[in-house]
Amino acid sequence: MLNRFMQMRLRDLVILAVILFALPLFLNNPFHYDLATQMAIIAATVVGLNLLVGFAGQISLGHAGFFGLGAYFTGIMTSNYGWSSVPALVVGAILVGIVAWIVGRPILRLKGHYLSMATLAVGFIIAIILNNERALTGGPDGMPVPAFNVFGWELSPFGSYNLLGMELNGSEAWYLFAAVVLLVAVWLAQNLIDSPIGRALRSVHGSEVAARVVGVDTARYKSLVFVVSAIYASAMGSLYAHFQGFITPAVAGFDFSILFITMVVLGGMGSTMGVILGAVVLKLLPQVLADFQELETVMFGAILMLTMIFMPKGLLPTIQMAVGKRMKKKAGGQA
Amino acid sequence: MSALIEVKGLDKAFGGVHAVEGVSFSVEAGQVYSVIGPNGAGKTTLFNLISGLYTPTKGEIRLKGESTAKLEPNQLAERGMCRTFQQMQICMNMSAIENVMLGRHLKLRSNLFTTLFRLPSLLRDEKACRERAAELMEFVGCGDYLDTEASAMSYGALKRLEIARALAADPKVILLDEPAAGLNAVETAALEKLIRKIADQGTTVMLVEHDMKLVMGISDRLLVLNYGRVLAEGTPEEIRNNPDVIAAYLGG
């Protein structure tokens, strides 16, 4: 018996896979591929953040901090200590998870604005540390990060590869890799949501009182989802660092945190496919409006506000509802 | 044998107002025990104290002999206490059956690993949980709503859904806070049957209710509160004939 949730999940995953693997038909040059790769990595980060914000109803205005920690851990370990990429990513994610648990335990007692302020501060502190620890991080000048490598095999945007007989350049190979990572990230997130743990998380959002009287240890679950979303951010930060080849403390900065949150709100809190759409739209927008670059932050602010006022459910859920209504109308007219 | 729930000298003050004052009573396992009283008598406060949402100012509550003073609501749930609310607490961001499955939270063994990779043990548990939840929804009379979004359900159906969620934990004692409020006569009659069925299965029921006909019909014992104090305690027969109660509440 497939329940409603499982059907939706399967449908969403298939649609996403088709889009991701059909997209190269419309990508003409390495620049397009690079943009799409960035989108996929950021989208996977936001899918993780959505677990915290959309499903458990908690906010984090400092998630770029965890993204930045992952990026820098990878950068430092691979370039200064010669670690391979996968262990750097995994150990980094575990350490960031531990940091998130230690930080999350006390601050997740807070609600609403107070939680926003506390998470904002966490992000700032991490960014400041990355800025000041020059010896390790290179300070505001940033640091180079070697190409992604596993057992001596390298994935570099400048390499060339052969996959099942297809000739791929570095940008194309990175895109495919990021697409697979995004699919896995979505699959894991869906598994988490449709489970006893996921119900407990959603109940913290739906009714915290109800959650407590049915036996959910709400404090524990809030910490858990905070840690999971931080691990998502850290792992994606690691990939981002490899892909960019160079990182600055801006990856942990306030602008990035706000960008992540805007993607969640715009795309649709609690909709995994929605937040991916949010990530795509907000990564595309600066490209389309390249002439107004200095107004970027203003635009993000305006988008956030307008979405909250006119589409509180977010872009994708609003579209889905509108389409659903029209289909019903049509069906009603024919009957 | 000691009582299932023992309340001794319970006091709860909000600022200077004593919502509950010097209340003592005990509930034996298997009883239907009702708390009645005029509006503002402290009935819901009493329930919030028993279910651990409030901390008493004075006095103590014992569940199966164990003091509940240091226990959180979720720890009380682990010890077999479940409840519904006068202001319903349904998770509107979930489907009906997911709300009931949430009620089985404590019965499910899952960890992050089995969850993330959807291992067979998790799927087995989830299937059993879903079947049990569907059974319970049938039992309370919302069998038609399984995959309906909770936000799309009627008030009466949600009230029954909340009872199903409370039952999903296989509780020893279930606290129902005004389950008949807002229901029409037919729905109330169905509710009476349902409460009887729950009691017949051996679950202890504590009830706060305004509907006298319902309360007098199904209760083994009653506690009458007035201005936070116990006015009377006894069987429905004793309460009906108690002159204090008649004067204060039944309006004789």
Query: Cα Rg for chain B, rounded, in angstroms?
Result: 19
Residue A290 has pLDDT above 80, yes or no: no
* Range scoring the smallest mean pLDDT among A153-167, B26-40, B205-219: A153-167
Residue of chain B whose Cα is closest to the Cα of A189: B116
Report residue A150: phi and psi, to 5°: -130, 120
Tell me the C-alpha distance between A237 and A225, whole Å: 18
Neighbours of B122 (CB within 10 A): 22
Q: How many domains, in total, are found in chain A?
A: 1
Tell me the C-alpha distance between A111 and B4, whole Å: 36
Token reading at A308: 């909250």
Token reading at B75: 């720890």
Q: Is B43 found in the same domain as B120?
A: no
Distance from the Cα of A270 to chain B's closest Cα (Å) equals 9
**CB–CB of A200 and B105 under 8 A?**
yes
- For residue A67, the enclosing domain spans 4-287+294-334
Distance from the Cα of B120 to chain A's closest Cα (Å) equals 13
- Which residue, A230, A240, A226, A253, is CA-closest to A96? A230
pLDDT band at A3 (very low <50, low <70, confident <90, very high): low
The residue type found at B161 is L
Residue of chain B whose Cα is closest to the Cα of A56: B93
Q: Which residues contact A11 (CB under 8 A, 6 or more apart)?
A: none
Q: Is B125 found in the same domain as B64?
A: no
Q: Does A4 touch chain B (CB under 8 A)?
A: yes
Tell me the C-alpha distance between A260 and B60, whole Å: 49
pLDDT band at A335 (very low <50, low <70, confident <90, very high): very low
Note the Cα B39 to chain centre separation in Å. 18
- Give me the pLDDT at residue A333, please: 54
Token reading at B72: 């959180």
- Does any domain span residue B188? no
- Does any domain span residue B191? no
Token reading at A184: 């896995």
Residue of chain A whose Cα is closest to the Cα of B74: A215
Identify which of A214, A216, A224 has the shortest CB distance to residue B82: A214
Residue B1 has pLDDT above 60, yes or no: no
Identify which of A4, A195, A215 has the shortest CB distance to residue B115: A195
Contact B178, B125 (CB under 8 A): no
- Give me the pLDDT at residue A156, please: 84
Contact A212, B72 (CB under 8 A): yes
Residue A5 has pLDDT above 80, yes or no: no
- Which residue, A329, A307, A302, is CA-closest to A317? A307
Tell me the C-alpha distance between A122 and A254, whole Å: 10
pLDDT in tens, A46-73: 999 999 999 999 999 999 999 999 999 9
**CB–CB of B77 and A214 under 8 A?**
yes
- Does any domain span residue B200? no
Note the Cα A60 to chain centre separation in Å. 12
- Which residue, A58, A85, A57, is CA-closest to A73? A85
User: What CATH number should be reported for the domain holding residue A159?
Assistant: 1.10.3470
- Does any domain span residue B48? yes
pLDDT band at B250 (very low <50, low <70, confident <90, very high): low
- DSSP structural state of residue B246: I
- Give me the pLDDT at residue A332, please: 65
Q: How many domains, in total, are found in chain B?
A: 2
- Which residue, A228, A201, A231, is CA-closest to A70? A231
pLDDT in tens, B111-147: 889 999 999 999 999 999 999 999 999 999 999 999 9
ipTM of the predicted structure? 0.89
Helices assigned H by DSSP within A271-335: 272-288, 296-310, 315-334
- Does any domain span residue B193? no
On the 0-12 / 13-18 / 19+ scale of CB atoms within 10 A, B229 is middle
Q: Using the Cα atoms of residue B102, residue B158, residue B91 and residue B5 in order, give the sign of their dihedral.
A: negative
Tell me the C-alpha distance between B154 and B152, whole Å: 7
Q: Is B213 found in the same domain as B136?
A: no
Kindly state the helix (H) or strand (E) to which residue A310 belongs, with its residue range.
helix A296-310
- For residue B125, the enclosing domain spans 81-170
Q: Is B62 found in the same domain as B10?
A: yes
Token reading at B193: 């049957």
Note the Cα A154 to chain centre separation in Å. 24
- Does any domain span residue B99? yes
Tell me the C-alpha distance between B4 and B26, whole Å: 7
Q: Is B165 found in the same domain as B93?
A: yes
- Does any domain span residue B145? yes
pLDDT in tens, B21-37: 999 999 999 999 999 98
> Measured between beta carbons, which residues in chain A are less than 8 angstroms from residue B148?
none
Q: Is B236 found in the same domain as B158?
A: no
Tell me the C-alpha distance between A265 and A275, whole Å: 8
Q: Is B102 found in the same domain as B88?
A: yes
The residue type found at A326 is R
- Does any domain span residue B197? no
Q: What's chain B's average pLDDT?
A: 91
Beta bridge partners, B99, equal: none
**CB–CB of B89 and A210 under 8 A?**
yes
pLDDT band at B252 (very low <50, low <70, confident <90, very high): very low
Give the dihedral of Cα atoms A78, A82, A86, A89; nearest 10 deg: -40
Q: Is B34 found in the same domain as B110?
A: no
User: What CATH number should be reported for the domain holding residue B251?
Assistant: 3.40.50.300
